[in-house]
Structure 1
Amino acid sequence: MNTSNRNRVIVLAITEGGLTQTEAATRFNVSTRWIRILLARYTTGGLLAVDPRSRRPHTNPATTDPDMITAILTLRDDLIEQGLDPGAQSIWDRLPPQSRPSPATIWRILSRHNKITAQPQKRPRTSWHRFQAEAPNQMWQSDFTHWPLSDGTDTEIISWLDDHSRFLLHTSAHPRITGPIVIDTFTTTMDTYGPPASTLTDNGMVYTTRLARGNTGQRNQPNGFEQLLADLSITQKNGKPAHPTTQGKIERFHQTLKQWLTAAGPSTTLDELNTQLNQFTHIYNHERPHRALNRTTPAVAYTALPKAEPTMEAFNQIWRVRHDKVDPDGHATLRYAGKLLHLGIGRAHTGATIIILIHANNTIVINKTTGEIIAEHTIDPTHNYQPKKPTPTHQTGTMT
């Protein structure tokens, strides 16, 4: 007999069966005090009142405030409307730090209000094996994707993403992505952020001809982008055919971009679409914390460490490679031992595009257009200005 039925039987045995309280206590092996409690409950509330009461506390100090629950649900709806990640961690990032519950609590609130869609097909995060470049500019990923205008006209969006920080270096829309556009977007990005040590792309013909063969079965000549990377001593990496997960970061980025563009609404022209892309770049780099970056933004991660640079072999030594332009004062800048130094080049070379080779505390500055060595330095980190050596020891730009 369960407790609810037993309590009712005791009360009925007294009120209807004529047992005394003492007889009922002996018959049902309970105390007379408990008998009096049951009869008092019966008198005020009937048989329902004698059923066992919940032991749950009347109040719970850990209960989330109703206003906070409303704020969480409202914020989730806002993030969905903006095309941004509406998960528990993203909501937590945007709540006031002094009063926000834990991400786990937020997830339970979303689940309780049927805001969570089960995705049993997704792999657990513990099974992921993520590769990440060790420094900014160590590797840039690139790819392009399709996106329609409001009238259905197809466009193609190309993006360059820093592998270490997920910093969005460049994204732009074009009628069609061609080899010259790949080169132009890459060099424009490089002028802003410096050259990467390597690139990672798929095997599209705008990036590489390594899988294209002519009638003779021999590999085709490098395309313009491949030749540019070779000239700049930038290592080119390409994913395995039919394995897009190799470029997983740029693939996932384009999913995030399309989600945001869908929420932002269609553009009528290419210029409008590029304006939207500029808006998204700021949000993605500066406002949207990233799970893989310990909830910091890509902009913070990109500037937290010194940038990697290409390397090349010259004069039987391995040199770091930096690309720059000579400023109006005849100087170029170089970060060395954590300090920004100014290299003396000469006003005669103002505006020249140069390649700076760095090995230990020695530099060689080469005019990129002519190949001529125009300055050499022995770095003294105790001084901001580094004068060039009076006479270069190498008279030509030929390097072996």
Structure 2
Amino acid sequence: MVSPRTAKKWADRYRAEGPAGMVDRTSRPHISPTRTPPQVVKKIMALRWRRRLGPVQIGGRLAIPASTVHAVLVRCQINRLSRIDRVTGEPLRRYEHDHPGSLIHVDVTKFANIPDGGGHKFLSRQQSRANAIATAHRTGERGKGHRPRIGIAYLHTVIDDHSRVAYAEIHSDEKSQTATGVLRRSVAWFAERGVSVERVLSDNGSCYRSHTWRETCAELEITHKRTRPYRPQTNGKIERFHRTLGDGWAYTRFYASTQERNDALPAWLHFYNHHRAHSAIGGKPPVTRLTNLPGHHS
């Protein structure tokens, strides 16, 4: 059911190359005279990356049809602004390790403590300031110029690269002893769930450059990697988790005290790991990527 010309082409291919010549080949032409020149493609990409312009604006600047610009953007996979890094303007380079434990991300994020009676997120500045002064008088905390201070909560976070399962602890500092303690407990926590940690990725914070951290990684037989300086995008999974953490736990509702907020963290982490649909892993909870884990739907 083909033309004689097509049958002859297949026969000639088989005589020349054998069975390998019968494999499907692309129908793309060898020469495309009307294809957009590389110089124009570079200009289109530069305007897209640096100025965040759309096809119509780029076409107007370069005096070419918007449809041509759109075709180039689709071909270069930058037709959606969500695929471009907000800071550098370069295309996002996504990666994911192939099994749980292959790489975990660690970091520290900070949240201001909440004065007794609530803070400025839900109360007026005047009422929040009065609550902070009363709390500082109770605790005796003072800052520069003997000003009342309520302090900062340091949240040490750990997230598995493949499954996005998260572990977190709240502390009063980000020293090396605290960070290594969190690493030990998180590795044990993952081990209880059948995950053996092989590598850990951190930024260049002082606690992660310490001898204590290096010795702990060697003791646990974990390879330590650090991100390139001034490139938080490399550790982007945990940075994005921090935003989810703030929206879903720290600022989601009114807390009358720091302790009340701290008490809500374990329940939120359970919800995040076991029930919250994660867009990066097909709309399923992170724990579903941990295989052979009994009761992971509880």
1:261-340 paired onto structure 2 within 5 Å: 261-266=250-255, 268-269=257-258, 271-303=259-291
How far apart are the structure 1 equivalents of 2:216 and 2:152? Answer: 29
TM-score, length of structure 1 as denominator length: 0.40
Amino acid at match of 2:252: A
Q: Deviations over 1:150-181 (max 9, x none)?
A: 2243111111100111101x212111121111
Give the equivalent residue in structure 1 for 2:82. Answer: 124
Q: Structure 1 runs of 4+ off > 6 angstroms? A: none
Which protein is bigger by CA-based radius of gyration?
A: 1
Instruction: Name which structure has the greater RCO, CA cutoff 8 Å, separation 6+.
Output: 2
Amino acid at match of 2:187: M
Amino acid at match of 1:289: A
Give the equivalent residue in structure 1 for 2:163. Answer: 165
Amino acid at match of 1:233: E
Distance 1:267 1:234, change over 3 A: farther
1:255 aligns with 2:243: yes
Shift of 1:232: 2.7
How far apart are the structure 1 equivalents of 2:272 and 2:228? Answer: 28
How far apart are the structure 2 equivalents of 1:267 and 1:282? Answer: 22
Identity %: 28
TM-score, length of structure 2 as denominator length: 0.53
Give the equivalent residue in structure 2 for 1:360. Answer: none
How far apart are the structure 1 equivalents of 2:279 and 2:288? Answer: 13
Shift of 1:239: 0.1
Q: CA RMSD, aligned part only?
A: 2.0
1:139 aligns with 2:127: no
How far apart are the structure 2 equivalents of 1:129 and 1:303? Answer: 27
Gapped regions of structure 1 (runs ≥ 5):
1-121, 210-222, 306-400
Give the equivalent residue in structure 2 for 1:153. Answer: 151
1:1-400 paired onto structure 2 within 5 Å: 123-125=81-83, 127-151=91-115, 152-168=150-166, 170-194=167-191, 195-209=196-210, 223-260=211-248, 261-266=250-255, 268-269=257-258, 271-303=259-291
How far apart are the structure 2 equivalents of 1:146 and 1:304? Answer: 35
Q: Deviations over 1:325-377 (max 9, x none)?
A: xxxxxxxxxxxxxxxxxxxxxxxxxxxxxxxxxxxxxxxxxxxxxxxxxxxxx
**More strand as a share of residues:** 1
Q: Deviations over 1:50-78 (max 9, x none)?
A: xxxxxxxxxxxxxxxxxxxxxxxxxxxxx
Give the equivalent residue in structure 1 for 2:63. Answer: none
Amino acid at match of 2:162: H
Number of equivalenced pairs: 169
Gapped regions of structure 2 (runs ≥ 5):
1-79, 85-90, 116-149, 294-298
How far apart are the structure 2 equivalents of 1:274 and 1:302? Answer: 27
How far apart are the structure 2 equivalents of 1:226 and 1:248? Answer: 23
